[in-house]
Amino acid sequence: MKWYVKGPLEVLSSFGLALILLGFLFLLTLLGTLEQANLGLYEVQRKYFTSFFLVHELGPLKVPLPGVYLLLILLAINLTLGVVYRTRPRLDRFGIYVMHGGMLFMLLAGLVTHHFATEGQMTLAPGESSNRFQSYHEWELLIRGPIGPGEAAREYAIPGEDFLRLGRTESRTFVAETLPFDVTVSDVARNAVPQRLAPEQRNASGMGVGGFYLAVLAPEKENERNLPGFHVTLTDKRGGERTEEIVWGGSTLPLEIAREDGTWQLAFQRKSWAVPFTLTLAEFRHEYHPGTQMARTYESDVIKREGGQEQFITIKMNEPLRHAGYTFFQASFFEDPRSGVTSSTFAVVRNPADQWPLLACIIITAGLLLHFCQRLLRYLKGERARHGAGAPDPAPARPAGAGAARPQSEAAA
The predicted pLDDT at position 199 comes to 66
The predicted pLDDT at position 135 comes to 95
- The domain tally of the chain equals 3
Question: Dihedral of the CA atoms 82, 83, 85, 91 (nearest 10)?
Answer: 150
> What distances in angstroms separate CA 17 from CA 88, 104, 105, 109, 225, one per listed residue?
20, 16, 20, 23, 41
123 and 43 within one domain: no
The predicted pLDDT at position 309 comes to 93
315 and 255 within one domain: no
The predicted pLDDT at position 398 comes to 60
- Answer with the one of 249, 272, 295 that is the final residue of a domain: 272
297 and 239 within one domain: no
**Residues 343, 334: Cα–Cα separation, whole Å:** 5
Question: What is residue 47's DSSP assignment?
Answer: I
Question: What is residue 227's DSSP assignment?
Answer: -
Residue 371 included in any domain: no
Among 67, 101, 68, 66, smallest CA distance to 82 is for: 101
- Answer with the one of 272, 304, 323 that is the final residue of a domain: 272
301 and 256 within one domain: no
246 and 205 within one domain: yes
The predicted pLDDT at position 318 comes to 86
The predicted pLDDT at position 406 comes to 52
Residue 100 included in any domain: no
139 and 234 within one domain: yes
* 117-122-123 Cα angle (round to 5): 160
Q: Which domain holds residue 36?
A: 3-86
224 and 143 within one domain: yes
Q: How does pLDDT run along the chain (413 residues), one tens digit per residue? A: 777 778 889 999 999 999 999 999 999 999 999 999 888 899 999 999 999 999 999 888 999 999 999 999 999 999 999 888 888 788 888 999 999 999 999 999 999 999 999 999 999 999 999 999 999 999 999 999 888 776 678 899 999 999 999 988 899 999 999 899 999 999 999 999 999 887 665 555 455 676 788 899 999 989 999 999 999 999 999 888 999 999 999 998 899 988 888 899 999 999 999 999 999 999 999 888 888 878 788 899 999 999 989 999 999 988 999 999 999 999 998 888 888 889 999 999 999 999 999 999 999 999 999 999 999 998 998 888 888 755 555 555 565 555 544 544 444 43
Q: What kind and span of H or E run contains 108?
A: helix 94-116
328, burial (CB in 10 Å: exposed 0-12, middle 13-18, buried 19+): buried
Q: What kind and span of H or E run contains 23?
A: helix 15-39
Statement: the pTM of the whole predicted model exceeds 0.85: no
Residue 386 included in any domain: no
**Residues 207, 210: Cα–Cα separation, whole Å:** 10
Residue 290 included in any domain: yes
